[in-house]
A = this chain, B = another copy of it.
Amino acid sequence: MPKPFKPSILKMTARNVSVAYGSKIAINDVSIDVDQDEVVAFIGPSGCGKSTFLRTLNRMNDTVASARVTGEIKLDGQDIYSPDMDVVQLRARVGMVFQKPNPFPKSIYENVAYGPRIHGLAGAKADLDRIVEKSLRRAGLWDEVKDRLSDSGTALSGGQQQRLCIARAIAVDPEVILMDEPCSALDPIATAKIEELIHELRGRYAMVIVTHNMQQAARVSQKTAFFHLGTLVEYGNTSDIFTNPREERTKDYITGRYG
């Protein structure tokens, strides 16, 4: 599926990144590049550190007191762990969608408008309305909710909630979107919708998606990274990884020998 000969523009680069929770090393010496218009999938058995690594990419791990990150992660060439990087702005540029849909217990409108508000992206109410509509449209949710924007976001179905969360992330116009098992709490139909959405958003945002589901990785991503016990075992084009893995461990995992 990935287009073979498009020149790629590097969006994020991680070099020799290690993460420890206290004395427990969760990620060990991982280097990865994320391109401007690709979807990267992280796969690997439970506890191998996929989420941990994903969360280092927008410094969400800062909220875990015991987490220590070493190595270098750059966004557009700028070190995101340097002291003069403003975490708040970083997170606006690198958005995140979580495993469990987590809309705010506010109206649908307010959910989407929250980001633009705190970042002062919209001057007038009309601006804000425009941003909200655009984001909901991009997230493929506009038609379903346009008549009930003032309903609570938590009243939506699971799949809708997850799309609302994507719309919310889109609303601050991020450059990268990180998704941590966005479909694992959803039923197959909702899953399909999200996958479709990822397809549509590709090119506009660089995306990194963690998934337990290998078929999903195969369906949505151009590159796949396979983690095991905190190390990056293999990283390459998705088609290669699934049909012709270089490493024995990758192959064993993909064919279901362990996991």
Chain A interfacial positions (CB closer than 8 Å to B): 45-46, 187-189, 191-192, 253, 256-259
Question: Quick one: which of B45, B187, B188 contacts A189, CB cutoff 8 A?
Answer: B45
Pairwise interchain contact B187-A259, C-beta atoms closer than 8 A: yes
Chain A interface mostly: loop
CB neighbours (8 Å) of A187 from chain B are: 45-46, 258-259
Interchain CA distance A192-B191 in the complex, whole Å = 25
C-alpha gap A110/B253 in the complex (Å): 35
What are some 11 contacts across the A-B interface (CB < 8 A)?
A: A45-B187, A45-B188, A45-B189, A46-B187, A187-B258, A187-B259, A188-B259, A189-B257, A189-B258, A189-B259, A192-B258
Interchain CB contact under 8 A, B188 and A256: yes
Identical copies of this chain, number? 2
Residue in B closest to A158 when the chains form the complex, CB atoms: B46
Complex contacts, A189 vs chain B, CB 8 Å: 45, 257-259
In the complex, A258→B190 CA distance in Å?
8
Of chain B, the residue at the smallest CB distance from A214 is: B188
In the A-B complex, list the 4 residue pairs whose CB atoms are closest, starting with the nearest: A188-B259, A189-B258, A46-B187, A45-B187
Q: Give A192 to B45 CA distance when docked, in angstroms.
A: 14
Report chain B residues within 8 Å CB of A191.
259
CA distance A189 to B256 in the complex (A): 8
